[in-house]
């Protein structure tokens, strides 16, 4: 009888891990655990941390959260769940990832992960300063504080295991380009786009290494999406026809082209690490360019208000919303709907989950 090699069996098991689902959750191979999900970065993964700081960049009021559990706004920048919730749900960990600064956070919530992210944050320190939000360096301080609380709650050994085996999402860079560089233009006098991309990637690399030093080993670092196709950027830079801004999209592609090999280098140099570049640009662009393939009808406007410019305080209970947000890719002029997030998260998990095993 012909012997089947172990490496071949491992490949089969890995494939099964990706494609086999049960009740919406990915089945991991025996002995493999991902106990929690942590999030760092900007509004895409901010679960409500901005609620408790002095900034205009909040979303803890209607109509935000209208499709969330109970229809209560939580500070998530969408109509419902966001990527940390959906990823944790797909991995069978928990249904919701809370904000670390949530005053209602309990000790029993700590082991399955929290979000340290802050809407408006970026890799460039100037980005968070401009809008008075929590910088990545302060998010690291909160992470250190969290680890201390976790050790007190579950013991040092289990806490270390949770931190090292959990999935750490890093989502930033969009605000650096869309706001700091292009719209506000505070960095344009100092950098051309290539040198600014170098600054962003260098800051990202430093942040990843600091997370690693704190015990993180499984890191999913998201590239920048096609920011030129966001409704607000179409309005600001897309001309009278509100086309996608190719200049903005090319800038995002440039940063991604520099970020990907940098992360691969870190993955090779940091022992026992799984530092993975997650391409969000191409699946998101395909979603926008071919909305009908995914069940959407509107790809260039948000559901809130006119959909052209309303975001955060401009998207409010007086703005009005579309009749059916499930037909819209975007909730406001900057952030996707829960339905769009679900499609993107499903694609991401199918493609990348094996990279962390």
Question: Do 124 and 199 meet the contact criterion of CB atoms below 8 Å apart?
Answer: yes
In 3D, which of 281, 218, 293 has the Cα closest to residue 251?
281
Question: Do 314 and 343 meet the contact criterion of CB atoms below 8 Å apart?
Answer: no
Question: Do 42 and 171 meet the contact criterion of CB atoms below 8 Å apart?
Answer: yes
> Rounded to an integer, what distance in angstroms lies between the CA atom of residue 180 and that of residue 231?
18
Q: Which of 43, 59, 128, 166 is catalytic?
A: 43
Q: Are strands 274-278 and 218-222 parallel, antiparallel or unpaired?
A: parallel
Buried b (16+ CB within 10 A) or exposed e, 307-326: bebbbbeebbeebebbeebe
Q: Which of 78, 118, 273, 335 is catalytic?
A: 335
Catalytic residue status for 290:
no
Catalytic residue status for 332:
yes
Specify whether the backbone of 157 is left (phi greater than 0), alpha (psi in -120 to 50) or beta.
Answer: alpha
Q: Which of 115, 166, 332, 333 is catalytic?
A: 332
Catalytic positions are: 43, 332, 335
């Amino acid at each position: 009888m012909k012997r089947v090699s172990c490496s071949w069996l491992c490949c089969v098991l890995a494939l099964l891990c990706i494609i086999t689902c049960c009740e919406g959750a990915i089945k991991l191979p025996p002995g493999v655990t991902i106990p929690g999900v942590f999030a760092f970065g900007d509004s895409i993964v901010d679960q409500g941390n901005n609620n408790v700081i002095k900034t205009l960049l909040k979303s803890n009021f209607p109509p935000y959260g209208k499709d969330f559990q109970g229809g209560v706004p939580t500070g998530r920048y969408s109509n419902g769940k966001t990527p940390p919730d959906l990823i944790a749900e797909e991995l069978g960990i928990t249904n919701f990832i809370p904000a670390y600064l949530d005053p209602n956070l309990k000790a029993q919530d700590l082991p399955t992960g929290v979000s340290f992210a802050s809407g408006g944050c970026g890799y460039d320190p100037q980005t968070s300063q401009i809008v008075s939000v929590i910088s990545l360096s302060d998010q690291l301080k909160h992470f250190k504080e969290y680890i201390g609380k976790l050790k007190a709650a579950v013991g040092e050994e289990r806490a270390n295991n949770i931190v090292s085996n959990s999935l750490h999402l890093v989502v930033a860079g969009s605000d650096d380009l869309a706001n700091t560089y292009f719209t506000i233009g505070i960095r344009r006098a100092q950098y051309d786009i290539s040198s600014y991309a170098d600054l962003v990637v260098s800051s990202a690399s430093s942040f990843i290494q600091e997370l690693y030093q704190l015990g993180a080993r499984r890191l999913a670092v998201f590239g920048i999406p096609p920011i030129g196709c966001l409704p607000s950027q179409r309005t600001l830079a897309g001309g009278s026809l509100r086309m996608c801004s190719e200049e903005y999209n090319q800038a995002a592609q440039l940063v991604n082209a520099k970020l990907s090999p940098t992360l691969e280098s870190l993955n090779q140099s940091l022992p026992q690490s799984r530092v993975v570049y997650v391409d969000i640009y191409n699946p998101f662009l395909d979603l926008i360019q071919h909305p009908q393939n995914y069940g959407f009808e509107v790809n260039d406007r948000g559901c809130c208000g006119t959909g052209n410019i309303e975001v955060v305080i401009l998207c409010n209970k007086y703005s009005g919303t579309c009749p059916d947000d499930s037909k819209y890719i975007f909730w406001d002029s900057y952030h996707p709907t829960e339905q769009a997030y679900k499609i993107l998260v499903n694609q991401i998990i199918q493609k990348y989950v094996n990279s962390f095993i």
